[in-house]
Structure 1
């Protein structure tokens, strides 16, 4: 490789990095502007290092919740929770870690197949999640008395 092609190679790599960062920002802005989207941190298993908290956006749908990881180029959701899979949701308020920080709540979903999912959201989003679950049409939620 001669010395003239090295700056062109570096320019190409730089352009790819800028394009990837721009795509991530545009995806995040597009998700956050849709109705029913809110910040949500999930406890998930990772490829490296075992399970950890991963930040992203959760979006309400008529029959499911969709979670999108924050820093990802993937267009579709990473986690989908169907309303009919939810057996129970336990909600616990978490104390603020810093002064002036909004209250958050820990949501623990009990799902079909002995699966559990934990999420941390702000208090308003936690109340909205509870309302979404309670507003399900009759027969849509397991254990529904109607």
Structure 2
């Protein structure tokens, strides 16, 4: 078989893999959002360089926790789970510098304190309103006078 046929077969196989990956991402997104409560949520994994370290993803409320899923992953489980009882809203700001290119245009950056330290999330204004409501709406009997565990 000539070399050009091998190259054509390899290109076809590569195209097939890319299409299967894209189809897998679509099916995963539909499965994650079938119960509602999902929204675009970016998570900052590295804060060593200003404006860098953002990963696009999806957020989903699941009872007392907020689950974060990476956008371009086929893994069915959340990459990060944030418990409501361990989150404290610190503040918000507009994206600065390189963050404006890394994040969606209408997203704002929020800071939250967790037992593991400070984290940054980015979401739209509407999602921030829902996040604030979810954060404040603890279960009955919640003691608001004590700090997070």
TM-score higher than 0.5 = yes
Structure 2 portions without partners, runs of 5+ = none
Aligned to 1:3: 2
How far apart, in 1, do the equivalents of 2:112 and 2:127 lie?
A: 15
For residue 107 of structure 1, report the CA deviation from its aligned partner.
Answer: 1.7
The structure 2 residue matched to 1:116, chosen from 115, 118, 140, is 118
Q: Confirm or deny that 1:52 pairs with 2:53.
A: yes
Write 1 or 2 for the structure with the bigger share of strand: 1
CA deviation map 1:78-117 (0-9, x unaligned): 111112222x11232538x7xxx9754322110114x121
Structure 1 portions without partners, runs of 5+ = none
CA deviation map 1:94-145 (0-9, x unaligned): 38x7xxx9754322110114x121011111111111111111113377826x
Where in structure 1 do 4 or more consecutive aligned residues deviate above 4 Å? none
Q: When the two structures are aligned, how many residues end up with a matched partner?
A: 133
Q: Confirm or deny that 1:43 pairs with 2:44.
A: yes
RMSD: 2.9
Helix, strand or coil: the match of 1:116? strand
CA deviation map 1:12-70 (0-9, x unaligned): 33222211111112222333443111111111139xxxx51111110111110001111
CA distance change for structure 1 residues 11 and 62 in 2, over 3 Å: closer, same or farther? same
**1:58·1:65 contact (CA, 8 Å) conserved in 2?**
yes
**1:42·1:120 contact (CA, 8 Å) conserved in 2?**
yes
How far apart, in 1, do the equivalents of 2:63 and 2:37 lie?
A: 10
How far apart, in 2, do the equivalents of 1:36 and 1:134 lie?
A: 17
Aligned to 1:67: 68
TM, length-normalised to structure 2 = 0.73
TM, length-normalised to structure 1 = 0.75
How far apart, in 1, do the equivalents of 2:56 and 2:131 lie?
A: 17
Helix, strand or coil: the match of 1:58? strand
